Structure 1
Amino acid sequence: MLVAVTDHAAERFRQRVAGTLDAKTEIASRVARAWEAGRVSEEPPPGATAARGSLYVRDGADRSVVYVCRREGAGELVVVTLWEQEGGVTPPRVPRRFTDALKRDDERRRDDAT
């Protein structure tokens, strides 16, 4: 399976998981290993948006991290973003109250623009 990684997924990885110089390569290798180990599901983690056609790949080393992916053709997987599952082995590095506050700010900006 060929794994591609979006800029958004790489930025979230740098912010939440590891400050690495080559986040895309790190994510691609983690997702490929997890894929080979069968750590894939069509069932979203609790709280995720559950976009149609998404696949959820759980990191083998950090089991609270779930990569949200989409299939691109027969042999390619695109990592769109990542999710930290609450109630997992370790708590999320960024508590949900902070990400919820960002969502409220985004909604206010959209409302102001209309």
Structure 2
Amino acid sequence: MDPGRGPDGARDGCEFWPVEPNLGYPYADGIEGLPDTLTISITGDPATPYQGGLSLAETLGGTVLSVDGEQHTIALSGTSDCVNGIVADYLIELRTPPADARCTL
């Protein structure tokens, strides 16, 4: 299981990026014209809070796939047939799952 930390102990590769961010907050606001986007959010992700995925999907006006589990990153990792099927449908057909779709690791 991926604990969400790299070999140097960082939660992700950007944590110790040597340059300060230069974008204001919010980064994405008033986005128009996007197709329905798929955001995958894992309930026990050690690097990205579950609520963050829900907020991103709301900001983009997209769909959330909630995944019950504890790891960071899941799409096409070979860990979940449930997630892989939904991601494949999205990438090939641009079809998002129903609003209540949920997978478990």
Q: TM-score, normalised by structure 2?
A: 0.24
Higher strand share goes to which structure? 1
Higher helix share goes to which structure? 1
